[in-house]
Chain A
Amino acid sequence: EAGVAQSPRYKIIEKRQSVAFWCNPISGHATLYWYQQILGQGPKLLIQFQNNGVVDDSQLPKDRFSAERLKGVDSTLKIQPAKLEDSAVYLCASSLDPGDTEAFFGQGTRLTVV
Chain B
Amino acid sequence: GENVEQHPSTLSVQEGDSAVIKCTYSDSASNYFPWYKQELGKGPQLIIDIRSNVGEKKDQRIAVTLNKTAKHFSLHITETQPEDSAVYFCAAIPGTYKYIFGTGTRLKVLA
Contacts and interface: CB of A to CB of B under 8 A. Distances in A.
B31 A107 contact: no
A112 B48 CA distance: 32
Nearest to B42: A107
Given A42-B89, A42-B102, A42-B103, A99 B43 contact: no
Given A40-B104, A41-B103, A100-B51, A106 B43 contact: yes
9 contacts: A41-B103, A41-B104, A43-B44, A99-B93, A100-B32, A102-B34, A102-B49, A103-B46, A105-B44
A48 interface: yes
A32 interface: no
A108 interface: yes
B101 A42 contact: yes
Interface of A: 4, 31, 33, 40-45, 48, 55-56, 91, 93, 98-108
A101 B99 CA distance: 10
Contacts of B89: 42-43
Contacts of B42: 107-108
A102 B102 CA distance: 16
A56 B43 contact: no
B97 A99 contact: yes
Nearest to B45: A105
A103 B97 contact: no
Given A41-B103, A42-B104, A100-B32, A107 B43 contact: yes
Contacts of A104: 46
Nearest to A3: B43
A70 to B, nearest CB: 22
